Amino acid sequence: MRPFTYQAPADAASAVRAVTRDPTAVFLGGGTNLVDHLKLGILDPGLVVDVTGLASVEITDLGGGALRVGAGVPNSDLAADPLVRERFPVLSQALLAGASGQLRNMATTGGNPLQRTRCVYFQDVTTPCNKREPGSGCSAIGGWTRNHAILGASAHCIATHPSDLAVALAALDAEVRVLGQDGERVIPFTDLHRLPGDHPEHDTVLGHGDLITAIDLPARPIARRSAYRKVRDRASYAFALVSVAAAVEVDGGVVRDARIAFGGVAHKPWRAYRAEEALRGATAADDSYRAAADAELADAVAQDGLDGGNAFKIPLLRRTLVATLRDLAREDA
Amino acid sequence: MDSEIGLRVDGTPRRLTVDTRTTLLDALRERLGVTSPKKGCDHGQCGACTVLVDGRRVLSCLTLAVARDGAEVVTAEGLAPDGELHPVQRAFIDRDAFQCGYCTPGQVVSAVGMLDELDRGWPSAATGTGEPELDDAEIAERMSGNLCRCAAYANIVPAVREAGR
C-alpha cells in the first residue's frame, strides 16, 4: 500500500475541492469496500478525504410521502427507520438482505451504491481486467461466470453490480443529489450507473470529485406493497445470484401498476421497464408474471464458463420474479 | 504519513502515532497490545476482528485508525473489566460455544452489539412484520457476519439465546 495523506474536511464543498484538484484522491465513507481495495492493490490513492464527519446522517420527511436520506446515514439505521419500513419496505428488505450486521453499521447510503463489482478477476490484480486496467482484457469471459451478467454485458466486461440497496433505489425512482465543482445537481438513480460498453472502468456517470450528498425517495404509494427477494449460494452474507425488487398495485384482480428492478444480473441495477409495461392492465396471475419476465429477459444472454456458465440465471430470475409478484399480489388482494 | 490520534480502548485513554494506512485492528493488536480482536481474513469476510466503536459492532480490519480519532473502542477484553465476565462471555463458556476459540472474541463482541440492536427493535432479514424476537432464525441471520471454522454454531446459537434472555 502506497503512503497517503488523510484529510477530514469540515464541509462538503471543501471535500469536493480537495478531491477534484488531486487526480489520485478518493473519498472515504464507511470504508468497507475502499479499505479492502487499498489492501488488494486495486486502489493506490495519494490522498484520502474522509467525508464521514461532514455527511448528513438525517432522514428527513419531505412531506407527501417523500423522504430525503443523508449520504452519511448508515445502512443499518436506514433499514430500521420506521418511515422507510412503512413507505418503502423494499428498501429496508434490500438493505437487510445485504452484507452483515457489522458491515451495515459501517456502510453509508452514499457509499453503498458506489461499491465496486465483486468479480473475482477485478479483485485479483494478477489477472487482466478492463475495469481495473482499461485495455488489458476481460478474464471473466470464458472464466468463472456464475456471478456475472446476463443482461447488458459487453465484449469488454461482464461484471455485475453487487449492491442490494441500489436495486431497490432503481425500482423506487430515487434521485441522487450530487455536489461537484460546478455546484449541486440531481441525477435519476436509474441514470447513475452505466452499462460497461467500451468503458467498463466507469461504473457510474459521476466525475472525479463528485460527491453524493443525499438520496431522495419520491412519494410512491405503490411502494407500500413492495418486497425484495434475493437468491444466493448461502442463506445469508452472500452476494446475489439474482434478486428482484418489486412493487405492485392490484385492483379487482388486475395489475394496475408495477415497479421492478433486478440485481446480480447486470453492470447496473436493472430497471425492468418492459416487464412493468407488460404487467400494466394484465390479470394478476402467474401467466401474466411469466409473460412479464419473458418480455424483460428476451435479450438475456448467458455466459459460458469454466464453472458451467451462468445460463441457470435466466430461468432462476424468471421464477424469482414470478414468485415475488405472486406474493405481493396476494397481499394486495 | 504519520498522524497522532487518541482512542479510548476498553475504558483506558490511549494516545498513539499511526501511519495513515494502519487499520484499527493493527493499531489495537500491534501498537497497543490489545490482542483479543483477531485477524482472520483481514478482508471483512469473517468477523473475527469485530469490536464496538462508539457502541456499534464494526469490523476493525476495514476501519482506518486515523479515521476513528477520539472513538470509544470496546473489545472482548473490555467486556470483563475487573475479571467479572459479561453475560455473553459466561453463556459461551456455559454452552461450550467454541472449539479452537480463535473466532470467539469476535463472536462475543458481535453478540453484544447484536443484542443491543435487537433491544432497539432493529429488524433483520429473518424478521416478519412484527417486532423481532430472539429465536434461532434471528440469531443465525444476525450473527451471519461471524464465521466459525470449527462450526461451533450449534452451541453458539443457544449461548446467544441464553445471554439474550
- CATH superfamily entry for domain B87-163: [2Fe-2S]-binding domain (1.10.150.120)
Closest partner CB to A106 (pick from B19, B62, B142): B62
Half-sphere exposure of A230 (CA within 13 A, CB side): 29
Contact B109, B148 (CB under 8 A): no
3.30.43.10, 1.10.287.90, 3.40.1280.10, 3.40.190.10: which CATH number matches A5-52? 3.30.43.10
Residue spans of the domains in chain A: they are 5-52, 222-332
Residue spans of the domains in chain B: they are 2-79, 87-163
Q: Which residues in chain B are closer than 8 Å to A120, comparing Cβ atoms?
A: none
Specify whether domain B2-79 bears CATH 3.10.20.30.
Answer: yes
Asked if the model's pLDDT at residue A333 lies above 80, the reply is: no
The CA-CA-CA angle for residues A257, A262, A268, to 5°, reads: 120
Q: Any idea of the CA torsion for A80, A84, A85, A91, to the nearest 10 degrees?
A: -90
Q: Mean of the pLDDT values across residues A107-130? A: 98
DSSP assignment string, A267-292: SS-EE-HHHHHHHTT-BSSHHHHHHH
Question: Same CATH fold, A222-332 and A5-52?
Answer: no
Instruction: Please state, in angstroms and rounded to a whole number, the distance separating the CA atoms of residues A103 and A114.
Output: 15
- Residue B59 to residue A101, Cβ atoms within 8 A: no
Q: What tens digit of pLDDT does each residue of B129-159 get?
A: 788 999 999 999 999 999 999 999 999 999 9
Instruction: Please state, in angstroms and rounded to a whole number, the distance separating the CA atoms of residues A206 and A62.
Output: 25
Best residue of B64, B103, B148 to probe chain A, by most A CBs closer than 10 Å: B64
Contact A113, A71 (CB under 8 A): no
* The pLDDT value given to residue A9: 98
The DSSP call for residue A222 is G
How close, in Å, is residue A10 to chain B by CA atoms?
A: 14
ipTM value > 0.95: yes
- Residue B122 to residue A79, Cβ atoms within 8 A: yes
Instruction: Please state, in angstroms and rounded to a whole number, the distance separating the CA atoms of residues A93 and A100.
Output: 13
Q: Mean of the pLDDT values across residues A81-106? A: 98
- Minimum Cα–Cα distance from B145: chain A residue: A100
| Residue A316 confidence class, pLDDT cut points 50, 70, 90 | very high
Asked if the model's pLDDT at residue B128 lies above 90, the reply is: no
- The alpha helices in A45-198, defined as continuous H runs, are 75-80, 82-87, 89-96, 101-106, 120-123, 165-171, 189-192
Half-sphere exposure of A245 (CA within 13 A, CB side): 35
Q: What tens digit of pLDDT does each residue of A291-306 get?
A: 999 999 999 999 999 9
- CATH superfamily entry for domain A222-332: CO dehydrogenase flavoprotein, C-terminal domain (3.30.390.50)
Best residue of B38, B39, B41, B57 to probe chain A, by most A CBs closer than 10 Å: B57
- Residue B58 to residue A97, Cβ atoms within 8 A: no
Q: What tens digit of pLDDT does each residue of B49-91 get?
A: 999 999 999 999 999 999 999 999 999 999 998 889 999 999 9
- Residue B66 to residue A32, Cβ atoms within 8 A: no
- Residue A106 to residue B123, Cβ atoms within 8 A: no
